[in-house]
Structure 1
Amino acid sequence: MAASLWRSVFGGSAAPMEEEEERVAFWSSPERTGWLTKQGEYIKTWRRRWFVLKQGKLFWFKDSTVTRASTPRGVIPVASCLTVKGAEDVLNRAFAFEISTRGETMYFIADSEKEKEEWINSIGRSIVQHSRSLADAEVVDYDSTKRSAKPSSSSD
């Protein structure tokens, strides 16, 4: 209930800031920042927000003056993202892109084709960096399962 209350007050799909997110100094030396127009989660209006990508988290704010005291309107942990790709054909709008997680697809509009591509590349790199340990663990588990499955399948 607290998460849904937080969403209704602050908007967006993010849960309240967890300890891990609080440790990210989003106000200092971000990997990427800029204005994007974001579609709301419940009321599908478009709002211009200032985005900050840092340490595997994509934060958004109402304005571009981000300090230690700023409260993000939302945060997306990029490790939970499955894809980031262009979405002009889906939204029928120029410079649109989408970020998909298991639970939802979020839509954004950049100010230019160049900015759209830069955001897609930055978020994509961050997804790869921050999901690598999970992916490596999955490959090891899969390989172990395959190895142990071979003898039993040959005895059938």
Structure 2
Amino acid sequence: MNETLLEGNGSRVPIEILWYHHDLSRHAAEALLLSNGTDGSYLLRNSNEGEGSLALSVRAKDSVKHFHVTRKDNGYSFGFNEYPTLQHFVIHFANQPLLGSDAGTLMVLKSPYPWRVEEPSIYESVRVHTAIQTGRTENDLVPTAPSLGTKEGYLTKQGAFVKNWKQRWFTLNRYELKYFKDKGSEEPIRTVDLKACSAVQFDYSQERVNCFCLVFPERTFYLCAKTGVEADEWIKILRWKLSQISKGR
């Protein structure tokens, strides 16, 4: 492999590594992989751990794990092992599980996430394909794929007046959070404008678990997800939306 090198934050990376995303942040990497990747999608980026330090971000089902990779004169080191090129590193882990956490999450590198897609600071205009599969390249991008920063799924919502809980189908697109009676409903019960939201945070005041709330001047919405991971994903993407709104003011 011809190692024509790129410079970035002190890290030198082969130009053939089309999934090297330079200064993509940890949070943005999570947003990219969760919104548009699949289980086993991965990308390489610079790490804030110091010069010559890289991070490999890998999607494992509904979460993203991050691993430190260090550039050295004779190749790349990961844990106790060293590899002459990043391609050797990927090939090695594509053939055996990559241990992702103390909880024992196992991941295999399957689908490189290409950097040759539009990735402006405001991710609403990013268009990338939603089904990156092994063997596909950046030339297989689907131009009409959903924009980054969208999310949907069932959440349990507390009523405004009668404090009972009902399952609703939620969709997040741009700065609008809509909820429907169920997934097949055409008209939303309500559309919530996130531009009026002041905070999104975990909520521990309910008897239920995996709950979070959205704080508005006139009302606080209480929502619960099926799992803590799912609740964390909703919170992260909603907080990211609020940060983008704040930057635009």
CA apart distance, 1:105: 1.0
Runs of 4+ in 1 over 3 A off after TM superposition: none
1:102 corresponds to 2:217: yes
Deviation at 1:29, TM superposition (A): 3.1
Mapping of residues 105-144 of structure 1, within 5 Å: 105-134=220-249
Q: How much has 1:108 moved relative to structure 2?
A: 0.4
Aligned to 2:198, the other structure's residue is in SS state strand
- Distance (whole Å) between structure 2 residues aligned to residue 130 and residue 72 of structure 1: 23
Task: Name the structure 1 match of 2:34.
Answer: none
Q: Give the match's secondary structure for 1:35.
A: strand
In the TM superposition, residue 65 of structure 1 has moved relative to its aligned partner by: 2.4
Note the aligned Cα RMSD (angstroms): 1.6
Cα offset for 1:129? 1.5
Q: Is 2:198 the partner of 1:79?
A: no
Structure 1 residues 15-53: Cα deviation after superposition (integer angstroms, max 9, x where no partner): xxxxxxxxxxxxx93700010000111221111000000
Q: Which residue of 1 aligns with 2:99?
A: none
The separation in 1 between residues aligned to 2:187 and 2:161, in whole angstroms, is 20
Q: Which residue of 2 aligns with 1:34?
A: 153
User: Matched residues in 1 for 2:157 and 2:246: separation?
Assistant: 24
For structure 1, which runs of at least 5 residues remain unmatched after alignment? 1-27, 135-156
Instruction: Give the whole-Å Cα distance in 1 for the aligned partners of 2:193 and 2:214.
Output: 11
State the structure with more CA Rg.
Answer: 2
CA distance in 1, matches of 2:165, 2:207: 14
1:60 partner amino acid: Y
Give the aligned residue type for 2:189: R
Distance 2:245 2:180 in 1: 22
* Aligned mates of 2:211, 2:177 — CA distance in 1: 17
Instruction: Write 1 or 2 for the structure with the bigger share of strand.
Output: 2
Distance 1:75 1:29 in 2: 19
- Aligned partners of 1:37 and 1:87: how far apart in 2? 13
- Give the alignment's TM-score, normalised by structure 2: 0.39
List runs of 5+ in structure 2 lacking aligned partners: 1-144
* TM-score, scaled relative to structure 1: 0.62
Q: Distance between the aligned counterparts of 2:243 and 2:188, measured in 1?
A: 24
Taking the aligned partners of 2:193 and 2:182, their CA distance within structure 1 comes to 20
Separation in 1 of the partners of 2:244 and 2:238? 10
Give 1:122 shift: 1.0
Whether 1:57 and 2:191 are equivalent positions in the alignment is: no
Taking only the aligned residue pairs, the percentage that are identical comes to 29
Q: 1:43 aligns with which of 162, 166, 181?
A: 162
Q: Distance in 2 between matches of 1:76 and 1:94?
A: 23
Deviations 1:87-125 (A, max 9, x none): 02x113210101101222110000000000000001111
User: How many residues get paired?
Assistant: 103
